[in-house]
């Protein structure tokens, strides 16, 4: 009996952990790899240290919230994606680039995929997607990371 209870409990835990992983990570068909996800804490550290090499940060969402980021506008719109393309065309292919939106979880965000797909298509080699699993408020603003004025 005890063994059965134990098996049941272990099964429940494994299932719940699996469900959590599913909800927090991105889908299998996303155009980015796990290695291309940048931890917000790491970006905040770099932005707060003027001696660090600063990446070029593009906001492809509703509003540029992160300090020093360039406001492209929602990348789901063709004209905004063209603006991003124009700006990228002036940069060396190995530029350190960070993309973020932060409106919603990745599963619902309409903006990060077109932007990342564009970077891939243009053969940039050193770009990251800021890992904001929930949104820019929870994963950046609430943590007190640097913001635009």
Partner 1 sequence: MKILILFVALLLFESTILTLSAQSTGLEQGNKTPEIKLSNTKGDTVALSSLKGKLVLIDFWATWCAPCVAEQSELAKLYHKFNQSVFTNGKGFEIYGVSLDAKKTSWENFITTNKISWIQVSDLKFWRSPVAKTYNIQALPFNILIDGNGIIVAKNLHGVELENRIAKFLRK
Contact residues: partner 1, CB under 8 A: 2, 5-6, 9-10, 12-13, 16-17, 20, 61-63, 65, 74, 102-105, 108, 110, 134-138, 141, 147
Task: Identify which of 144, 98, 94, 115 has the alpha carbon closest to the alpha carbon of residue 30.
Answer: 115
Closer to partner 1 by CB, 101 or 124: give it: 101
Least distance in angstroms from the C-beta of 127 to partner 1: 23
Task: Identify which of 148, 134, 137, 142 has the alpha carbon closest to the alpha carbon of residue 25.
Answer: 134
Which residues lie closer than 8 Å to 44 by C-beta, 6 or more apart? 140, 143, 145, 146
Least distance in angstroms from the C-beta of 25 to partner 1: 16
Least distance in angstroms from the C-beta of 109 to partner 1: 9
């Amino acid at each position: 009996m005890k063994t059965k209870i134990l098996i049941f409990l272990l099964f429940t835990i494994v299932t719940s952990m699996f469900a959590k992983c599913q909800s927090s990570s991105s889908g299998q068909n996303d155009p980015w790899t796990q290695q291309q996800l940048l931890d917000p804490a790491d970006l905040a550290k770099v932005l707060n240290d003027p001696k660090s090499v600063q990446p070029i940060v593009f906001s492809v969402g509703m509003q540029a919230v992160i300090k020093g980021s360039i406001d492209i506008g929602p990348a789901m719109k063709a004209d905004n994606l063209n603006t991003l393309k124009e700006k990228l065309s002036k940069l060396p292919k190995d530029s350190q680039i960070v993309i973020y939106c932060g409106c919603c979880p990745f599963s619902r965000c309409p903006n990060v995929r077109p932007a990342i797909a564009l970077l891939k298509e243009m053969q940039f080699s050193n770009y990251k997607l800021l890992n904001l699993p929930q949104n820019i408020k929870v994963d950046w603003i609430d943590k007190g990371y640097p913001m635009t004025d």
